[in-house]
Amino acid sequence: MCASASRGFHATGVKRMGGHGNDAEYYLHAKHMYNLHRMKHQKLTAWTSVLGAVSIGVGVPVYAVIFQQKKASG
């Protein structure tokens, strides 16, 4: 018989950085990140984003089904 081998899982601890670390002067607070009320063409941009997301959500499965059916038919 062979010698028993020890197997285990080893992970290092999480590096603790107080606050934002050394990049505090470059940190941009979230309330200043997205000024959506000041965005130009807000309705057009929102509708374009929604239409793009919906078309991807519908188009990818439809393409996958067509591709698989083509592949299965030989």
Which residues, other chains included, contact 39 with Cβ-Cβ below 8 Å and sequence gap of 6+?
45
Residue type, 3: A
Calculate what percentage of the chain has a pLDDT beyond 70: 54
Give the pLDDT confidence score for residue 57 in this predicted structure. Answer: 97
Give the pLDDT confidence score for residue 20 in this predicted structure. Answer: 52
Q: How confident is the model at residue 27 (pLDDT cuts 50, 70, 90)?
A: low
pTM above 0.85, yes or no: no
Instruction: State whether residue 16 is helix, strand or coil.
Output: coil
CB 39 within 8 A of CB 45: yes
Backbone angles phi, psi at 60, to 5 degrees: -65, -50
